[in-house]
């Protein structure tokens, strides 16, 4: 199914696939790199490496010995990701989590070496504070290091406050491309989960519990109302809303079947009008 989804995604004209060296590491029997390896096998099978932008991450915890953003670890780990992905370069290499125990200069020096070597084309940051991001940019400018070109924060129609108050203007001023994760709030904004009973037994339950509030219900109703006007789906509308937001380059969302993927891809062509945006913004205020 994963190969089919990536085939359909790229055949429709979309081209960025985001992963990380830690994805699926918590699944029993997995040791890390499993998502990268699956993508690497698909790249070889499909012959589409030249058509896609591959983004992966380093710094998440694989084990007590394999985590963080120290230079020697980054330089070792990138080789593992390249092998997993079966490619000679990574288009976007991102720090997965900030590492307060490692000097910013050390991390950026490692990324700079990778960019100069051609193994990495661009770098980005995820799960970082705006102050640390600002310090990183200043450090890059002062030392002629590679500079963070992307930011991957949590941002969606429900989770708005932190990004909009802390990051939005900073990203715009510094021309940082924003590629938010949890764009569908762990699936809540698809409308699949309407009550707490709906998430019982779900692997996403711990992420979804916070959304079952009066505000969450208002947001789902607004999504339903706007979607009905276009014969569309809540997920499509939620992603289309994100695409109207200042500085957003591409929201990140995951699909487990072709119908979900179709709903997500439809967001690129759904043009919400001023009235739609007012409804959605009022519900999520």
Catalytic residues: 23
CA 144/CA 123 separation, integer angstroms = 14
Percent helix, strand, coil in the chain, to 5, is 50, 10, 35
Q: Which of 70, 91, 66, 100 lies closest to 16, judged by CA?
A: 91
Query: How many residues are present in the chain?
Result: 285
Say whether 248 sits in a helix, a strand or coil.
strand
| Cβ 260 vs Cβ 235: under 8 Å | yes
Residue 134 phi/psi, 5-degree rounding, is -60, -45
Spatial neighbors of 194 by CB under 8 A, at least 6 apart, are 220
DSSP structure string for 105-170 = HHHHHHHHHHHHHTSEEEEEEES--HHHHHHHHHHHHHHT---EEEEE-B--SSS-HHIIIIIHHH
CA 109/CA 143 separation, integer angstroms = 9
CA 153/CA 178 separation, integer angstroms = 8
Written as six digits, the tokens of 185 are 């709030």
Other CB atoms within a 10 A radius of the CB of residue 11 amount to 11
- Give me the residue label for tokens 């979804």: 208
């Amino acid at each position: 199914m994963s190969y089919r989804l990536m085939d359909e995604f790229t055949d429709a004209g979309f081209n960025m696939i985001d992963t990380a060296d830690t994805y699926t590491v918590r699944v029993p029997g997995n040791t890390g790199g499993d998502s990268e390896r699956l993508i690497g096998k698909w790249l070889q099978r499909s012959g589409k490496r030249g058509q896609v932008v591959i983004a992966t991450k380093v710094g998440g915890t694989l084990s007590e010995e394999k985590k963080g953003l120290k230079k020697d670890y980054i330089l070792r780990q990138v080789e593992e990701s390249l092998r997993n992905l079966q490619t000679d370069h990574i288009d976007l290499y991102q720090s997965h989590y900030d590492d307060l125990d490692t000097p910013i200069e050390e991390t950026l020096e490692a990324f700079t070496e990778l960019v100069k070597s051609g193994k990495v084309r661009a770098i980005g940051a995820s799960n970082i504070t705006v102050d640390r991001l600002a310090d990183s940019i200043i450090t890059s400018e002062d030392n002629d290091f590679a500079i963070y070109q992307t930011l991957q924060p949590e941002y969606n129609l429900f989770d708005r406050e932190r990004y909009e108050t802390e990051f939005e203007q900073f990203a715009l001023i510094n021309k940082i491309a924003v590629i938010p994760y949890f764009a569908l709030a762990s699936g809540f904004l698809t409308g699949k989960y309407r009550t707490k009973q709906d998430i019982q037994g779900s692997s996403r339950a711990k992420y979804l519990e916070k959304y079952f509030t009066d505000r969450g219900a208002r947001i789902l109703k607004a999504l339903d109302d706007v979607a009905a006007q276009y014969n569309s789906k809540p997920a499509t509308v939620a992603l289309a809303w994100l695409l109207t937001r200042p500085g957003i380059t591409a929201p990140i969302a995951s699909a487990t079947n072709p119908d979900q993927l179709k709903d997500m891809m439809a967001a690129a062509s759904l043009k919400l009008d001023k009235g739609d945006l007012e409804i959605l913004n009022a519900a999520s205020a």
